[in-house]
Structures are given as C-alpha cells and as structure tokens.
C-alpha cells in the first residue's frame, strides 16, 4: 500500500487489509514515495478513524518505498496518479511495472479514480478515505482469496 507520506492513506489501507486477511502466508505493508515522515507514526486522524472501526494502526512507522519492494511484493496498490508515476519510475522490468495498480481500480476497473489526500482537510476526509479503502480492501481480499 503506497501513498505520498505513509502517514494518512496507506497506513489505513495496510491496517484495513491486515484486519481482513485470515492467513499468515501474506505480507501486507505500506510505504510512502516521499521521505518527509520516515520513522513517524500515522497521523492521529487516521489512527482515530481506524480505532473507531476496531483497528489499531498506532504502532505502524512510516518508511519510504524502495526498489527492492518490487522483489518483496506481488502487488503494489497506490492511492493516486502521482504515487503511480513515482513508483513506476522505480520499476526496472515490465513485470514490476505491472505490479503497480491504483487501488480504486479494484472496485471501478480502468476508471483511474484516486483516493484523495486528506492531510490538509478535516476529519470527514479521513472517514471518506476509510470507507473507500474498506471497499477496495474487501475486493482485494476476495479476489486474492486471502
Ligand atoms: P498521505 O498524506 O500521502 O496519505 O500520507 C500526506 C501526508 C503528508 C503530506 C502530504 C500527504 N505532507 O505534505 O507532509
């Protein structure tokens, strides 16, 4: 799960998908394309909206997406087009490029809809992001049978 800062959207996506996955054979992780927040915990507004749904993301720590993530992960879900472009620019093979998908295409294929960045907005933006990611993660969970 990849966003820009790895403190708002992708920590939620990581927490939501982890809560749905029932096997220990799957590694779910998140990262940001930017280095601004490395080592920090998620934004308190993401922590709170996750908590309101019974999910604790408070122990996550931000990290930056790195080239070797292409070796370690089969699927790379990004939140918006800028994340897509940044991650794809680090891919060195066609196979790796194909791993990168806009997460909302899981529910609206080929629409290229984006998960809006809630960082500069209010709490409602975080609730909206949570709801979008919950539906997308349901779809991923079912599709991958995890
Ligand atoms: P995220 O949100 O990409 O969903 O983690 C953001 C967090 C921080 C900033 C931008 C977006 N920032 O500019 O610091």
Q: How much distance in Å is there from the Cα of 32 to the middle of ligand 1?
A: 8
| Residue nearest atom 13 of ligand 1, based on CA coordinates | 5
| Residue nearest atom 3 of ligand 1, based on CA coordinates | 4
CATH of the domain at 98: 3.40.50.2300
Domain tally, the chain? 1
Residues 130 and 93: their CA atoms lie apart, in Å, by 32
Distance from the Cα of residue 102 to its chain's centroid: 10
Model pTM score: 0.98
Residues 51 and 42: their CA atoms lie apart, in Å, by 12
For residue 43, the 8-state DSSP code is P
Domain holding 111, by residue range, is 2-144
The ligand 1 atom nearest the CA atom of 36: 14
Structure confidence by residue, pLDDT tens digits, 22-49: 988 999 999 999 999 999 999 999 999 9
| Residue nearest atom 8 of ligand 1, based on CA coordinates | 5
Give bridge partners of residue 102 from the DSSP assignment: 78
Residues 123 and 97: their CA atoms lie apart, in Å, by 34
Q: How much distance in Å is there from the Cα of 145 to the middle of ligand 1?
A: 31
Q: What is the pLDDT of residue 120?
A: 95
Residues 122 and 36: their CA atoms lie apart, in Å, by 21
Q: What is the pLDDT of residue 23?
A: 87
């Amino acid at each position: 799960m990849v966003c820009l800062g790895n403190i708002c959207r992708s920590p939620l996506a990581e927490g939501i998908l982890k809560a749905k996955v029932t096997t220990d054979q799957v590694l779910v992780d998140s990262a940001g394309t930017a280095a601004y927040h490395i080592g920090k915990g998620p934004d308190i507004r993401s922590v709170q909206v996750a908590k309101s749904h019974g999910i604790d993301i408070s122990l996550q720590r931000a990290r930056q997406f790195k080239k070797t993530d292409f070796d370690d992960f089969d699927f790379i879900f990004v939140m918006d087009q800028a994340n897509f472009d940044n991650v794809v620019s680090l891919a060195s093979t066609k196979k790796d490029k194909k791993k990168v998908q806009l997460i909302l295409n899981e529910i609206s294929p080929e629409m290229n809809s984006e998960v809006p960045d809630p960082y500069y907005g209010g709490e409602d933006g975080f609730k909206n992001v949570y709801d979008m990611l919950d539906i997308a993660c349901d779809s991923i969970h079912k599709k991958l049978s995890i």
